[in-house]
Chains A and B, each alone.
Chain A
Amino acid sequence: MLHIINKAPLTNCALDSCLRVAQSGDILLIEDAVYAATSGNAFEGKIREALDRFKIYVLMPDLEARGLADRIIEGISPVDYGGFVDLTTTNKNCQSWL
C-alpha cells in the first residue's frame, strides 16, 4: 500500500499514526509533510527508524517550494509528480492520511 502524508510532523499526528499502524509499503511525503524529510528536524529519529520498514519518498516540487531541497535525509528518495503517479500504480492500493 502507498501511504500518502500531507501534514507537517510537528503539528499533526498523521505521519506518526501512519508509522504506528501501517505494516509495510511505501510512504510518500507531499505538501507540508515534506518537512518530515529534512535533516535536523525533531522528527528525524522516527524517520530514520521508519526507513528500515518502509521505502520513503518525498515530492520534490513541494520541498523546493519550501526552500529545503538541499536537506533531504539520506535514504529518502525524491520524486516528481510523474514519480507520484508511478507510485500509485506500482502499489496495489493507496491511502491518504488526511
Chain B
Amino acid sequence: MSDIKKFMFVNRKAPHGTIYALESLEVVLITAAFDQDVSLVFLDDGVYQLKKGQQTKGIATKNFSPAYRALEGYDVEKLYVEKESMEARGLSEEDLLVDVTVLGRAEMGELMDQQDVVLSF
C-alpha cells in the first residue's frame, strides 16, 4: 500500500467501563505499522483514557494505559486533547500520562475537516 492517507482516531469513551478504548488502541498501532499519517484525538470522556495513575488490579482487568506511552515508538506522535473536554472534567495537562497538544474546540473542528479517514469506536 503506497498511498498515505490521513487517519484520525477519535476517542470519546472512558476506559474500563467498556472495551472500546483498548480495542481502539490496537487499531491505532496497526495503522501506524501501515505507514499511514495517524492522529489521535481525545474528546469528551475519552480524555479519561490518558489519566495518570490508573490501577486496574482491583477490577481484575488489564491495565493498558502504559501503552499510550509506547505510541511514540510506533511514530504515533500526533495526540490531541480538546481543551474544553479536559477542563470540563477537572483535568489539566499535568494529569495526563503522555505529552499532548491541547486544542480549542474550533481548532479541533478544523483538524477533523482535514482528515481522509475518521474512525471512532
Complex: A in contact with B (CB within 8 Å): yes
| Residues of A near any B CB (own CB < 8 A) | 1, 13-14, 17, 20-25, 93-98
Q: List 19 A-B contacts (CB under 8 A).
A: A1-B112, A13-B44, A17-B12, A17-B85, A20-B105, A21-B82, A21-B106, A21-B112, A23-B106, A23-B110, A25-B113, A93-B115, A93-B116, A93-B117, A93-B118, A94-B118, A95-B118, A97-B10, A97-B120
Q: What's the nearest-Cβ distance from chain B to residue A54, in Å? A: 12
Q: What's the nearest-Cβ distance from chain A to residue B7, in Å? A: 11
Could you mark each residue 75-118 of chain B with 1 if its beta carbon is under 8 Å from any beta carbon of chain A, else 0?
00000001011000000000000000000011011101101111
Q: Once bound together, how far apart are the Cα atoms of A98 and B13, in whole Å?
A: 9
* Residue B38 interfacial (CB < 8 Å): no
Q: What's the nearest-Cβ distance from chain B to residue A5, in Å? A: 11
Contacts A1-B113, A93-B117 hold; do A98 and B106 have CB atoms under 8 A apart?
Answer: no
* Residue B40 interfacial (CB < 8 Å): no
Quick one: which of A22, A25, A96 contacts B120, CB cutoff 8 A?
Answer: A96
The reply to whether B112 and A22 contact each other, CB–CB distance below 8 Å, is yes
The reply to whether A98 and B112 contact each other, CB–CB distance below 8 Å, is no
* Residue B50 interfacial (CB < 8 Å): no
Q: Which residues on the B side are within 8 Å of A21 (C-beta)?
A: 43, 82, 105-106, 108-109, 112
Q: What's the nearest-Cβ distance from chain A to residue B101, in Å? A: 15
Q: What's the nearest-Cβ distance from chain B to residue A3, in Å? A: 9
Q: What's the nearest-Cβ distance from chain A to residue B84, in Å? A: 7
* Residue B121 interfacial (CB < 8 Å): yes
Q: Once bound together, how far apart are the Cα atoms of A17 and B42, in whole Å?
A: 12
